[in-house]
Amino acid sequence: MTDTDDLARELDRAHVFHSWSAQSQTSSLVIASGRGCRVWDHAGNEYLDFSSQLVNVNIGHQHPAVVSAIREQAELLTTIAPSTVNLARGEAAKRIIDHAPEGFRRVFFTNGGADANENAIRLARLATGRDKILSTYRSYHGNTGAAIVSTGDWRRVPNEFARGHVHFFGPYLYRSEFWATTPEQESERALHHLRRVIEAEGPTSIAAVLLETVPGTAGILVPPPGYLAGVRELCDRHGILLILDEVMAGFGRTGRWFAFDGYDVRPDLITFAKGVNSGYVPAGGVVIDEPIAERFDDRVFPGGLTYSGHPLAMASIVATLDAMSSEGVVEHARAIGETAIGPALADLAERYAVIGEVRGEGVFWAVELVADRDTREPLPAAAMGRIKAALVARGLLPFIQDNRIHVVPPCVVTEEEVAEAMAIYDEVLAAETTGGG
């Protein structure tokens, strides 16, 4: 610990009002610098970042090409109104389109993921002339007006002022709402449930179904076979648009450019943020399928943000996506998930009864901890708090959500770093199961 770490803490405690935490219980962890999968405080204490912060630093911290691109752009032009033409903006849009399905041509830029969903919802409502948005209880779509009301968990409740939002249950076999025992059953029954919700709400009142392709914060719920294709079919049957939220799952996290590339589904609108530039500069957006974009050729889209398509964000997107392509980052994420993270977590699950289920792919894994394997009762919050503190004390930054450890390192994580992290998880689970702390 240095005086600088103390100063950082003192200023934070005195003046910063934090999100997602009671102000008396905010973290005292100071992070001053980073590189790849590691970060440091001012005193040089090192942490292995297996959270990717909020699951956004896909390319790792301080990638030199991205940092240089931001620096070069800063020297040229640091801000410009969204209505002007700017080369970096066009290039960033083109890079994103290169990874979208055939036929997608246009990108609306935002400052992050919530406003991406906000604007996708607005696009869907304007394009269909309908009102309702269907989304799942197990979801997080961002903390602004329509995005937080689309969110399914407790976070929507104090904000529930908007109309036209309806929730339903998506598939989650480990805690099935549908008494399913196989992925196929879960898929079929979840689709039946959605079909009934659509019928009960009135199909012609529904503008869009909004889904995270792989719900992230809610538990990394990899959809069962046929589910997303089935949702698409239901949408098509009733003229409902499908918005896939790829804010967390997109740009390499699942070992694919877009998570939906692994499924037989084509969305109408794709929302993105986080991994598109690893959060080096705030950025997000909506990729719009052409039949929807065309509706605004002679009609104003009443959405706009002063910083939409901000030059620093655009330069960082171009450099990030170029580096990810040339360095094979997405392929690496897929391989490391298959050969290192998945097998190591399966091994932990064999040895620790406290692990109820391991699921995931790429660098997107959830380890669900239970007090009892038979009843699947979630491990209590106090135990999760102890586990989190023990991981940090051993130099690992974890992503803990409810009763789960989300194993979500940057896509560039090496085999050695995975082995190092697994040894720490192992030690901490051993201490927790024997009561050693």
Token readout for 339 is 């050969």
Query: Could you give phi then psi for residue 202, rounded to 5 degrees?
Result: 95, 105
Query: Could you give phi then psi for residue 371, rounded to 5 degrees?
Result: -75, -25
Which residues make Cβ contacts (< 8 Å) with residue 5, sequence separation at least 6? 30, 32, 41, 42, 43
Q: Which is nearer to ligand PLP, 247 or 369 (CB)?
A: 247
Asked if 216 touches ligand PLP (CB under 6 A), the answer is: yes
Q: Which is nearer to ligand PLP, 220 or 344 (CB)?
A: 220
Give whole-number Cα distances, 91 to 95, 97, 98, 120, 124, in Å.
6, 10, 11, 22, 26
Q: Which is nearer to ligand PLP, 140 or 178 (CB)?
A: 140
Q: What is the closest distance, in whole angstroms, from the C-beta atom of residue 356 to ligand PLP in the complex?
A: 23
CA atoms of 396 and 389, how far apart (whole Å): 10
Q: Which of 47, 108, 140, 258 binds ligand PLP (CB under 6 A)?
A: 140
Instruction: Tell me the chain's radius of gyration from C-alpha atoms.
Output: 22
Q: What is the closest distance, in whole angstroms, from the C-beta atom of residue 76 to ligand PLP in the complex?
A: 26
Q: Which is nearer to ligand PLP, 133 or 424 (CB)?
A: 133
Q: Which is nearer to ligand PLP, 114 or 319 (CB)?
A: 114
Measure the CA dihedral 17/23/29/32, to 10°: 10
Binding mask 56-85 for ligand PLP (x = CB under 6 A): ------------------------------
Q: Which is nearer to ligand PLP, 145 or 183 (CB)?
A: 145
CA atoms of 272 and 184, how far apart (whole Å): 29
Q: Which is nearer to ligand PLP, 355 or 363 (CB)?
A: 363
As a residue count, the chain comes to: 437
Q: What is the closest distance, in whole angstroms, from the C-beta atom of residue 18 to ligand PLP in the complex?
A: 14
Q: Which is nearer to ligand PLP, 54 or 349 (CB)?
A: 54
User: Whose CA is closest to 361, among 277, 233, 263, 427?
Assistant: 263
Element holding 371 (H helix, E strand) = strand 364-372
Asked if 112 touches ligand PLP (CB under 6 A), the answer is: yes
Q: Which is nearer to ligand PLP, 5 or 245 (CB)?
A: 245
DSSP lists the bridge partners of residue 367 as: 358, 405
Q: Which of 8, 54, 67, 197 binds ligand PLP (CB under 6 A)?
A: 54
**Dihedral angle sign, alpha carbons of residues 316, 249, 115, 109:** positive
User: Whose CA is closest to 50, among 378, 433, 387, 365?
Assistant: 365
Asked if 305 touches ligand PLP (CB under 6 A), the answer is: no
Token readout for 98 is 């290169």
For ligand PLP, which stretch binds (CB under 6 A), given 154-162, 242-250, 355-363, 412-420? 242-250
Q: Are 404 and 221 in contact (CB under 8 A)?
A: no
Asked if 273 touches ligand PLP (CB under 6 A), the answer is: yes
Asked if 245 touches ligand PLP (CB under 6 A), the answer is: yes
Asked if 217 touches ligand PLP (CB under 6 A), the answer is: yes
CA atoms of 269 and 261, how far apart (whole Å): 14
For ligand PLP, which stretch binds (CB under 6 A), given 11-19, 212-220, 356-364, 403-411? 212-220
Asked if 123 touches ligand PLP (CB under 6 A), the answer is: no
Asked if 247 touches ligand PLP (CB under 6 A), the answer is: yes
For ligand PLP, which stretch binds (CB under 6 A), given 57-65, 220-228, 245-253, 313-321? 245-253
Which residues make Cβ contacts (< 8 Å) with residue 108, sequence separation at least 6? 119, 123, 285, 286, 288, 301, 303, 308
Asked if 114 touches ligand PLP (CB under 6 A), the answer is: yes
Number of chain residues interacting with ligand PLP (CB under 6 A): 16
Asked if 356 touches ligand PLP (CB under 6 A), the answer is: no
By the criterion CB under 6 A, which residues form the site for ligand PLP?
A: 54, 112-114, 117, 140-142, 212, 216-217, 245, 247-248, 273, 284
